[in-house]
Amino acid sequence: RNKLNKKYAFSKYLDLRPKLSVSEIKEGAIVIEAASDEADEAEIRIRKERAAVRGNAFHRFMELIDYSRYCKLISKNPKPSDKEILEFLELEKTRILDSGYMMKKEAAALNVNLALGFFKSDIARQIALSDERGELRREQRFMVSFKAGENISENIEEYKEKVKKHEKLQFNNGDEIQLLQGIADCIYEDGDGRIVIVDYKTDRVDSKEKLIERYTVQLIIYAVSISQIMDKEIADCIIYSTALQEAF
C-alpha cells in the first residue's frame, strides 16, 4: 500500500511533451495582441495566411538558388548592379519553376526583389564560395536533446557562453530529456572550419533591433544544437531581413 501511495519522483515531467519545435519556444516569448472582435480576428487570420505563403515561397526560392550561376555573375562583374542581380534572380525563379521544384502558386507569391539586399551583401559571396567547397547546407533539419522543463529563454546568457566556448551540453543521471527539433535556413562553413548560420526573416519591421529581440532565443538554440550535432565551432549567426534588405 505504501508503494501505491508513493509519489512519483519525476511527476513534474508528466505533462511535458517529449518533443518540441524551436518555433514553439520562439513564439512563446512573443506577445500577440488579442483581436478586438471576430471581424478583426478573421482579417488577422487572412493576413497571417498570406504572409505565410509569401514567406514559404521566399524560403523555397532561397533553398533552390543555384550559387554556381551567381558565381558566374560576380566573376564577370565583382560588383553587379541592382538591375543585373534582379535579372539573375528572375532567371533563377523561371528555372526553378520550369524544373518543377516550385509550384505556380508559390511563384506567384514570390517577389524576387526581396532577395536583392542579400545578393548585394558579402554573405552571398561567402555562401557561394562555401558551396563551391561542398560546405553549404540549406533547410537543414536537426534534432537535439535538452533538459526537460528548462526555460531556455531565462538561461539564454548561459547558452550564449556555451556557444562561444563550444561546450557540450551536460546531463546528470536522472535528468529527464526533451527533444527539440528545428530547421535552419542556411548553414555554411567560413573556410576555417567554423559554422555560420543564416536565418531569413520576412517579418514586416522597421528596425533590426526588433528582429534581434524577437529571434535571439531561436538563433541561440540553433547555434547550440548545430554545434552539438556537427561538432564545430559557431563563427556567427546572421539574420537577413527582407523588409530591411539587410543582413546583420
Q: What is the pLDDT of residue 132?
A: 96
Which grid coordinates are listed for 214? Answer: 524577437
Q: What is the pLDDT of residue 153?
A: 85
Contact residues for 161 (Cβ-Cβ < 8 A; gap 6+): 167
At residue 120, the 3 state secondary structure works out as coil
Q: What is the pLDDT of residue 70?
A: 98
pLDDT digits (tens, 9 = 90+) for 184-230: 999 999 999 999 999 999 999 999 999 999 999 999 999 999 999 99
- The torsion angle over the Cα atoms of residues 10, 12, 14 and 19, rounded to 10 degrees, is -100
pLDDT digits (tens, 9 = 90+) for 103-140: 999 999 999 999 999 999 999 999 999 999 999 999 99
pLDDT digits (tens, 9 = 90+) for 88-100: 999 999 999 999 9
Report the distance separating Cα 204 and Cα 51, nearest Å: 10
Which of the residue ranges 1-10, 58-67, 128-137, 161-170 would you say has the lowest mean pLDDT? 1-10
Neighbours of 140 (CB within 10 A): 17
Sign of the alpha-carbon torsion through 66, 69, 71, 74: negative
Q: What is the pLDDT of residue 108?
A: 96
pLDDT over 90 at 177, yes or no: no
pLDDT over 60 at 56, yes or no: yes
Report the predicted TM-score, pTM, of the whole model to 2 decimal places: 0.82
Q: What is the pLDDT of residue 45?
A: 82
Q: What is the pLDDT of residue 37?
A: 62
Report the distance separating Cα 151 and Cα 137, nearest Å: 29
Q: Who wins on pLDDT, 85 or 19?
A: 85
pLDDT digits (tens, 9 = 90+) for 2-41: 444 444 344 444 455 655 666 655 544 333 344 456 667 7
Q: What is the pLDDT of residue 4?
A: 40
Q: What is the pLDDT of residue 34?
A: 42
Report the distance separating Cα 89 and Cα 110, nearest Å: 11
> 58 with 114: CB under 8 angstroms?
yes
b or e along 64-92 (b: 16 or more beta carbons within 10 Å of the residue's beta carbon)? Answer: bbebeebeebbeeeeebeeeebbebbeeb
Q: Which of 142, 103, 132 is nearest to 225 (CA)?
A: 142
pLDDT mean over 165-169: 87
Q: What is the pLDDT of residue 21?
A: 65
Do the bridges between strand 195-201 and strand 234-241 make them parallel or antiparallel, or are there none, so unpaired?
A: parallel
Q: HSE (CB half, 13 Å, CA atoms) of 120?
A: 14
pLDDT mean over 174-182: 86
Residue given cell 561567402 in the structure block: 126
Q: What is the pLDDT of residue 69?
A: 97
